[in-house]
Chain A
Amino acid sequence: MRFLRSPSRTYEAPDGVAGGGEIDSANSPSGTTGAPTEQNETLGSYFRGRIDGIKGGDLGSIPIVIGIIIIAIYFQARNENFLTSGNFVNLVVQAAPFAVIGMGVVFVLLLGEIDLSIGFVSGVGGVIMALLILPDGSQVSTPVAILAAISAGVVIGLLQGVLFAKVGIPSFVVTLAGLLGWNGVVLLLIGSRGTVVIQDEFINGIANDSLSKMAGWIVVEGAVLLYALLQYSAVRSRAKAGLPNVPWSLILIRIAALAIAGAIVVAVLNETRGVPYVGVLVIVLMLIGTYVTDRTKFGRHVYAVGGNVEASRRAGISIDRIRISVFMISGGMAALGGIILASRLSSVDTGAGGGSILLYSIAAAVIGGTSLFGGRGTVRSAVLGAIVIASIDNGLGLLNVSAGTKFVVTGLVLLAAVTVDSLSRKGRESSGRA
């Protein structure tokens, strides 16, 4: 999955150049052109820069990719069913809800805030959707039900966001109240029904059906082609503006890596069920989310507010608007995650949104490298983290260990991830990359 990064980081000019430059050539004559003197990089200089960056604590997705590989090797050694096509499909479906809910909460975490209500907001979303399509004479069409559920999540986020931004209640408290309150709403909505079975084919198909084998190949090839085109146009426009570029060879390596990784994933999945729809959904949401965070004003302002509220205010950014928006995104994505969970189980019950959903989703974002202190993180981190969490859950399930052991192990992995983050943060600080 390492290579399923969005076509975004192309502009990432040498992120390996360390700070310093204390000895300044102060007396340069006025009117000198070509301020920072960067050259087009060669492949060698790019990798040297990356290695310097890693030494300086700028680890990127490396720890988590290594983590995924270790987890895969360990479980495969203990139980040979782990790395089979059938289990791989399960893994994708298990990871999807945490990935979707986690991607939403990344926006809140980027501000250095927290949303503890996402678990039961996902429950509310799933229950609203299930009740609306219940064939009792007053049912609505499936798309309307889905839209209504997501809207409910967005409105919940709006409410919590306003309480946080305008009234000034700490987000921890607002969403802690939400955690209790929305749990109550789930119980009230379900009422005496106990369990609501979903019979809608489309809804159940989200998590339980897959693309045809041919469609899987078309999707992956289309994605690689799109990535290549975006990279090409980015390089072209930078070259036209006379800006330094990453080397062509690196771009070719990236495209090839994406193509190979995508092909392996599709080939493995196609051995049994094919690519689950929900897998495609997660990737599409990840691409949209990455576009929003990296390529729009809104996303830039989210990072800015997470980095320095006062500077953002002086730059004319409406802090309240950003704060409320991220809670709306978090609520909407949580509701969508709830729909996926409901689809996987083909039902909702009084336990909807409870259990480990909240903590697994936040843990997914944090394990993937999103900082709890704000200002640093990516949408993609939630997807990578969700794969780790689902792998542990799934692998330990294959080993028939108890639920208690599962929680202990997942807790330790979360701790390990945050430890890596804290240590690399220290490294960044000492090399001036905080």
Chain B
Amino acid sequence: MSEQPLLELQGVSKTFGAVRALTHVDFKVRPGEVMALVGDNGAGKSTLIKGIAGIHPFDEGQYLFGGEPVSVSGPKDSAALGVEVVYQDLALCDNLDVVQNMYLGRELTSKLRRLDETTMERKARETLASLAVTTLQSVRQPVASLSGGQRQSVAVAKAVMWNSKLVILDEPTAALGVAQTRQVLDLVKRLGDNGLAVVLISHNLHDIFEVADRITVLRLGQNVAELKTSETTQQLVVEQITAGKLSTVPGQSGAAA
């Protein structure tokens, strides 16, 4: 794990009309590191990842990628940097098979504009193998027939296939059973082991303590703590989520808003 952050946000803010969703948030994640992002509902987790992904660009603050300041004003910019987001609602087409979903929108073609199924299937298999996703019976079965954990694995594999450097997972285990959660957490660990930077959003502290290296706590749009998982406890994190110290108290700093 190198100390140079892959992604570094310095003092980013975002307002939606009168609502101040993020206030001068610092955030960084290093290659090979799993960074958990926690906070209560409305703490600004989704706004932060949407800003990173370029869906709702930040109003102010610095966006550094690989140490260089970059401008991310749309999803294409972040994708070009190597940032992939796996959304909570998965964004897979049920009627298409695993390979078709993994290549959706970026299909390979050969002569006569013919889809190069052979190469796509081979590469999809390689990606799944590198992530040790071993529970699929066939990469040609429709996604509709997969279990929740398998779908999540496919969505993650789809994200890492494009030479991505940073993968953001939005509540990947929210709707999963015990065995499937296990499967996805193992996958998250492997992403880190493979040298990718991972941002994991979750409400489940148990999961976070199992896979994350560090934890960033957001509260009311501010970064109230960045903790090393090995040096903290679930109790402490809960305290930070519910009562972390704010640098500016919303409502009492009218000038800032």
Contact = CB atoms under 8 A, between A and B. Distances in A.
Given A18-B145, A314-B91, A24 B183 contact: yes
A36 B137 contact: yes
A27 B186 contact: yes
A241 B183 CA distance: 28
Contacts of B1: none
Nearest to B127: A35
B140 A376 contact: no
A304 B93 contact: yes
Interface string A325-362: 00000000000000000000000000000000000000
A310 B121 contact: no
Contacts of B114: 291, 295-296
A168 interface: no
B136 A36 contact: yes
A315 B91 contact: yes
Q: Which of B95, B177, B182 gathers the greatest number of chain A CB atoms within 10 Å?
A: B95
Interface stretch (A8-16, A82-90, A114-122, A400-408): A8-16
B138 to A, nearest CB: 5
Q: Assign chain A's interface to a size class.
A: 35 or more
Contacts of B129: 32-35
A434 B94 CA distance: 7
Interface stretch (B18-26, B60-68, B99-107, B224-232): B99-107
Interface in B104-140: 104-107, 109, 113-115, 117-119, 121-122, 125-126, 128-140
A222 interface: no
Interface stretch (B9-17, B146-154, B241-249): B146-154
A297 B115 contact: yes
Given A11-B140, A25-B135, A303-B95, A316 B122 contact: no
A429 B179 CA distance: 23
Contacts of B135: 21, 24-25
A318 to B, nearest CB: 10
Interface in A156-212: none
A211 B119 CA distance: 41
B95 A38 contact: no
B93 A303 contact: yes
Contact of B147 (A21, A300, A303, A312): A21
B141 interface: yes
A14 B68 CA distance: 48
A34 B134 CA distance: 8
B106 A316 contact: yes
B93 A26 contact: no
B190 interface: yes
Nearest to A306: B95
Contacts of A22: 147, 177, 179-180
Contacts of B107: 297, 300
B92 A32 contact: no
B115 A300 contact: yes
A424 B86 CA distance: 32
Nearest to B155: A311
B142 interface: yes
B148 to A, nearest CB: 10
B121 to A, nearest CB: 6
A304 B103 CA distance: 11
B210 interface: no
A36 B139 contact: yes
Contact of B137 (A21, A238, A242, A314): A21
A432 B126 CA distance: 26
Nearest to A315: B105
Contact of B179 (A18, A26, A314, A433): A26
A298 B198 CA distance: 33
Given A304-B93, A307-B93, A317-B105, A11 B144 contact: no
A176 to B, nearest CB: 27
B150 A433 contact: no
Nearest to B92: A311
Nearest to A317: B105
Interface string B69-106: 00000001000000000010111111110001000111
Contact of A311 (B91, B106, B147, B179): B91
Contacts of B141: 14-15, 17, 19
Interface string A421-434: 00000001001111
Contact of B95 (A242, A310, A376): A376
A237 interface: yes
Given A35-B139, A296-B114, 8 more contacts: A14-B141, A33-B129, A37-B134, A238-B118, A303-B95, A376-B95, A428-B144, A434-B95
15 contacts: A18-B145, A21-B135, A31-B130, A34-B129, A35-B129, A243-B122, A297-B107, A303-B95, A307-B94, A307-B96, A308-B91, A315-B104, A315-B106, A317-B104, A375-B93
Interface of A: 11-15, 17-38, 237-238, 240-243, 291, 295-297, 300-301, 303-304, 306-308, 310-312, 314-317, 375-376, 428, 431-434
Interface of B: 76, 87, 89-96, 100, 104-107, 109, 113-115, 117-119, 121-122, 125-126, 128-142, 144-147, 149-150, 177, 179-180, 182-183, 186, 190, 193
